[in-house]
Amino acid sequence: MLGVSTSYDPWILLNIPVSILTVNKKQSKFLKNNFKKVKEKFFEKEKEGEKSSENKLKANLIKEKIGKLYNLDAIKFHRTIHKFATGLIEKYGREKCLEYLFYHVLIGSTPQVNPENFPKNRIDFEGEESIENFVAELYKSSSTTIS
């Protein structure tokens, strides 16, 4: 391994395979001297990834619940979901609604932005307008007949 001392290998702590690294002595010295900063940056990015993955996971869970509701009684649940979505449009306007990830999930549309890149404050509406809560309640009220 080039430039990295065997007595101190920061990549092991970061779980990065040493075999893919090629660092020179200057880079090695920088890593040794700035390991704490490098480690913090690495884990900061990992936490951001976890948050976006969490939102993607929640979005998939909402999709799954909506799918099960539609399988149970498509017309009934389509009307209920349509009424809720229309209420959001009337209150906030179509353009604002389309800025929210879970709104896209609710109406079955594809967002212009990658789901992982949605701003934190544009995942779901707050309070009574929360799509996650709406679908959860709808699912819960129908759960006795959902397999």
In the numeric block, the tokens 């979901």 are attached to 81
> Which residues, at least 6 apart from 4, have a Cβ–Cβ distance to it below 8 Å?
11, 18, 21, 23, 28, 31
Say how far apart CA 89 and CA 77 lie, in whole Å: 18
In the numeric block, the tokens 């009424």 are attached to 83
Domain ranges of the chain: 50-142
What does pLDDT average to in each consecutive run of 10 residues of the chain (147 residues)? 44 44 59 59 52 78 87 87 95 94 90 78 92 92 66
Are 131 and 108 contacting, i.e. CB atoms less than 8 angstroms apart? no
Q: Which of 115, 131, 58, 122 is closest to 96 using CA atoms?
A: 122
Tell if the pTM clears 0.75, that is, is over it.
no
